[in-house]
Amino acid sequence: MNESNSCDIAREKVNLETSQIAWKELQRFFAGGVAVFVSPELDLVDVAYQFSIDNKDQVASWMQNNQVALVSDQQAITWLEADADVWAVVVKPWVLVQE
């Protein structure tokens, strides 16, 4: 299997593990400091894939541009009060979340 095929398979696996979920179901991950906000301008699957292959340079770039960050207290409160559903995917130990 070449590198391109294994990359495609890994991305497809991440895509299949992505789903909508009520933010209130993710509160324990927020409390544990492992809920990561992904800006709506980014592709959640691509971000999760970059996390899964430990692409530190790309993740650092997103963080510097405020496109990826730990979910803030204000975001968590807003989503909880709105009973919001979010898109989420687990890339251990992180739970990536997008509105």
Closest among 13, 53, 33, 27 to 93, alpha carbons compared: 33
The predicted-structure confidence for 13-50, as pLDDT tens digits, reads as follows 776 788 999 999 999 999 999 999 999 999 999 999 99
The predicted-structure confidence for 58-85, as pLDDT tens digits, reads as follows 999 999 999 999 999 999 999 999 999 9
Contact 86, 76 (CB under 8 A): no
As given in the structure block, the two tokens for residue 50 are 């970059």
Q: Which domain holds residue 61?
A: 3-98
* pTM for the structure as a whole: 0.87
Q: Domain count for the chain, please give it.
A: 1
**In the predicted model, is pLDDT for residue 2 greater than 70?**
no
